[in-house]
Each structure stands twice: as structure tokens, then as C-alpha cells.
Amino acid sequence: MRKITEKQRQQLIKAANRVRANAYAPYSNYAVGAALLTSSGKIFRGANVENAAYPVTMCAERSAVFSAVAAGEQEFNAIAVATDNGGTPCGSCRQVLAEFGLDIKVLIVDGEEKIVRETTVEALLPGAFSGGDLPDS
């Protein structure tokens, strides 16, 4: 599991809960915020954005990862995911995170900023599909 400081842990938790306020969730009313810590120390935030055509909805976790990658970051130490009830990342988000490291720390927090679960991507997605599973080209 990748290490983060207590200060970084608290920054991630607060950032994830704050960005939840920006979520666009008119259909589920389930606002999600994510804060992703890169190995360079930067924090990228994401909020879920729903759509009436449900499959094109974007999750907070993937939004944070894609923003980080667009900014040139590809090494991640931890992510905090905030919901009212401490819900875990969906399967798609778990797979996207796995692409960047099974040992990324995952902090799942509720709306009161309480850590509901602290784990890794690997624990959330055992047997993850990876580039090593693809045939050589």
C-alpha cells in the first residue's frame, strides 16, 4: 500500500467532500466527490456528472483520474471518495484505478468526513484485468 502523510489524508478527505457540492446528480441525487493524490503531491478533484442517457454518466473517481492524466500525471498514491453514506467506487472506476496501480490507497469516506473504509485498489478489484492479460501485438 502506498504511504501518505496524515496531513495529505486530511487534505484528500476534505477536498473530496468539498467537491461533492459540484456534483451534477439530478437523477440519482447521489453526489460523489473524489480527490486524487499524485506522486508529485498534486491533488486532482472530480465530481460525478449524470446524464439522462445513463451510460454516458461520468463518475467522480474517473473524472479525477482523467483530469490528472490530462495534466501530465500518471503516478497516483491515494484517492479519497466521498458520498453521504460511504459508498465504494463502481467497477468501472476500480478498473480505471487499477490501470495506474493496484497498490493505490483508497479512502472511502462519508459526508461527515469519517473514514468508512481504508483499502487498496487491489483489495477492491481482485484479479484485475491488466495490460499483461493482452496478447502481444
Average pLDDT for the chain: 96
- What pLDDT, on a 0 to 100 scale, did the predictor assign at position 42? 98
Cα atoms in the 13 Å half-sphere on the side-chain side of 98: 19
Cell readout for 32 is 460523489
Catalytic member of 6, 50, 61, 73: 61
Would you call 61 a catalytic residue per the annotation? yes
pLDDT digits (tens, 9 = 90+) for 85-121: 999 999 999 999 999 999 999 999 999 999 999 999 9
Q: Which helix (H) or strand (E) holds 12?
A: helix 6-19
pTM, two decimals, is 0.95
Q: State the pLDDT confidence band at 137, using cuts at 50, 70 and 90.
A: low
Please, what are the domains in the chain? 6-128 (3.40.140.10)
**How many Å apart are CA 81 and CA 117, to the nearest integer?**
10
- What pLDDT, on a 0 to 100 scale, did the predictor assign at position 136? 82
Query: What pairs with residue 49 in β-bridges?
Result: 24, 58
- What pLDDT, on a 0 to 100 scale, did the predictor assign at position 16? 98
Q: What DSSP string runs through 24-83? A: B-TTT----EEEEEETTS-EEEEE-B--SSGGG-B-HHHHHHHHHHHTT---EEEEEEE-
55 in Cβ contact with 30 (< 8 Å): no
Secondary structure (3-state) at 3: coil
**How many Å apart are CA 15 and CA 51, to the nearest integer?**
24
Query: What pairs with residue 85 in β-bridges?
Result: none
pLDDT digits (tens, 9 = 90+) for 61-82: 999 999 999 999 999 999 999 9
